Structure 1
């Protein structure tokens, strides 16, 4: 049995910088959601949203004048098609193959072939006409940093919405998978064509652009003031604008800009093998010490809350 979702999300996390893949884009992750990742399934579990009316109570406790309704999410202009390929996948000129049914590929909005190398799984994500939907400014995150209920949780400050998406996870054999986005034969929408019928091929279109195949997740960088080692770390106070990161000695690394109080999320799940299960090679004797310590610190921090 293959845990395809877990393997795909892990590959997307390795391939992109600060982005998480959504195996089910038609079940979108909303901007402003907060929650945690399930370390077994890698899915993001939503516990609430900063734009919910109930969240205003938490905001009032740290800043009675701040209203999230004054900072609604912003939608950026349409970008060029986004193509993400993990290690083991190679982009190639489009070739539908000799056995392909006749289609008018000249009218395709997108068409490309991908070569997948053998002996390992690789992933491809195509996002057609993406638009970034995001929390509008750093001031929002600065205020949210002071809310203790968000400690140990992840917040979603931005998602990519799109008109169409295509996900593929390879089967550890050498293969060439071709995809094309064509005008629909019914109505004025789009539809996908592919030469693959794999269970790990997932595609969809949405003329309203509500789906979200990619999103960012941020978590708090601990705030530390100078204090004796062994004492508890104090919570941030209103007016704090200096955030520092802990290191392995008495030294402190100063981060002068308060926007660094939120960092790209470290989900904390174990490295996975080619079928999406915990990889047995990553035992304590093999995993790099720095990576092991950081992963375990963040995992404990998330689990504590």
Structure 2
């Protein structure tokens, strides 16, 4: 494929309504603003609403301080040991064979993942010990964002981020393929660290026709999934004196999810020419 990243991201987004980070070690934070690169599907960072430099642009016009605790990103406690996401045509089975603490005060983590691909192109993503951070559910935050209308217009906002200390991502380009991978790690106890042990952790995997990536660390440094919201036009209407539908724009959770800037993709990751032709009203040659 010309852009494997865009195809993988598109497959995961269609399943979860969240965006996959093609480079999970690259940090994506709650409050980031930017656009999606049409060619690669990756997030084009253009700032963060919590940055001091961003807020300084508005000077004394801000009557709400984003540094207040109730307006800061919220970290939600999760009890899931893992999250498994797969696109259509992919079946994912995860088996947790972890055992308790051994004589060396370490827990042995063993996670086995089996992906079965029944379509030509499919994607799967597994996160171990996921952690969710999100924007607070506060109307004051939206009132503040209205003041940023020039800086936010036409851009997206990262409203949620799911991070983790270990992940594996795979995209197959061959129908009928089975892919196996496993995580083995010794976790220090007590430490509050889900996966760790420097040289005592590793992913192993079978061969795959396509792409697979993985990572592990002692801390949740990876950001494989995030959610993008698009500010509604009604958010800016109050600026120009028009009526504002507060029921739709007063809470960020009511905003529309960001839509991809590309047309539907075919199995090769290219924008579907048949779709483009139909959209333009051209006569289609179905025999070819």
TM value normalised by structure 1: 0.74
Asked if structure 2 preserves the Cα contact closer than 8 Å seen for 1:89 and 1:114, the reply is yes
Partner of 2:126: 126
Q: Which runs of 5+ in 1 are unaligned?
A: 95-105, 225-233, 245-254, 289-305
Selected match of 2:163 from 161, 164, 171:
161
Selected match of 2:207 from 167, 178, 196:
196
Q: Equivalent residue of 1:285, what SS?
A: helix
Return the alpha-carbon distance in structure 2 between the equivalents of residues 15 and 223 of structure 1. 28
Compare 137-146 and 108-117 and name the one that shifted more. 137-146
Asked if structure 1 preserves the Cα contact closer than 8 Å seen for 2:117 and 2:178, the reply is yes
Q: Equivalent residue of 1:213, what SS?
A: strand
Q: Equivalent residue of 2:67, what SS?
A: helix
* 1:135 Cα offset (Å): 1.9
Partner of 1:88: 89
Return the alpha-carbon distance in structure 1 between the equivalents of residues 62 and 240 of structure 2. 12
Partner of 2:250: 258
Selected match of 1:181 from 183, 207, 210:
183
* 1:143 Cα offset (Å): 2.0
TM value normalised by structure 2: 0.78
Return the alpha-carbon distance in structure 2 between the equivalents of residues 262 and 135 of structure 1. 13
Aligned length: 255
Asked if structure 2 preserves the Cα contact closer than 8 Å seen for 1:142 and 1:259, the reply is no
- Cα RMSD for the two superposed structures: 3.0
Partner of 1:271: 264
* 1:281 Cα offset (Å): 2.1
Compare 68-77 and 210-219 and name the one that shifted more. 68-77
Asked if structure 2 preserves the Cα contact closer than 8 Å seen for 1:241 and 1:258, the reply is no
* 1:28 Cα offset (Å): 1.9
Partner of 1:98: none
Return the alpha-carbon distance in structure 2 between the equivalents of residues 189 and 287 of structure 1. 56
Q: Equivalent residue of 2:133, what SS?
A: strand
